[in-house]
Amino acid sequence: MSEQAAAFLVRLARLSAANLGTLVLAPVDQREHDDLLHRVDAAAAAAGRLDELDEAADRAQALIIAAMARAAYQPTWFGPNWMASLGRAEDQARLIGAVEDAAIAAVVADLVPDEAAALAQPFELIAAMAGTAPRPSAIALRDPRRLTIWAGAMALVAIMAFVAVSELVWETYDALVPSYLLT
């Protein structure tokens, strides 16, 4: 895999799916898109990079789908956030297509720079929106330290509640037993 494609995949892995989902892409003109992909494929074939082209697109697709799957469920302090959404299925499909196109563009950027720029343009538009999505809850950040602290605190509260209830039960029992024995 070329350095440009690897750098693109690293950049993609660092972007938040929630940020990428803040902007809805317009539908592409399929004929123009197909012509653009045909020119890019021809340039990649002439340079012997067709396998690299396919690998970059497949890896980018796998990264974005995994990121979207992780972002689809984010528990909050009060339960799951069923009302949150990354957009309609059509919008998600366009996002996945834009990511694949940008990965392809990274592979052929040195061969056909104008076509690569046109192919990557929708993704670059979305990537420019980084940081605009609402911040997820602390639990959803999936920081192991935060989760450990939170789980430890909840376990401590549960133990304290058990001890307090046990003490009340034993005090009540001790108070009732002598009164039954004396009668």
Q: Look up residue 2 and give its DSSP letter.
A: -
Q: What token pair was written down for 52?
A: 């690299």
Better-scored residue on pLDDT, 142 or 44: 44
Contacts of 40 (CB under 8 A, 6+ apart): 53, 104, 105, 108, 112, 115, 116, 119
Q: What residues pair up with 75 in beta bridges, in sequence order?
A: 80
Closest of 103, 117, 111, 107 to residue 65, by C-alpha: 103
Closest of 116, 13, 25 to residue 64, by C-alpha: 13
Confidence bin at 90 (pLDDT 50/70/90): confident
pLDDT, tens only, 95-107: 889 999 999 999 9
Task: Work out the average pLDDT over 5-32.
Answer: 78
Predicted TM-score (pTM) of the model is 0.65
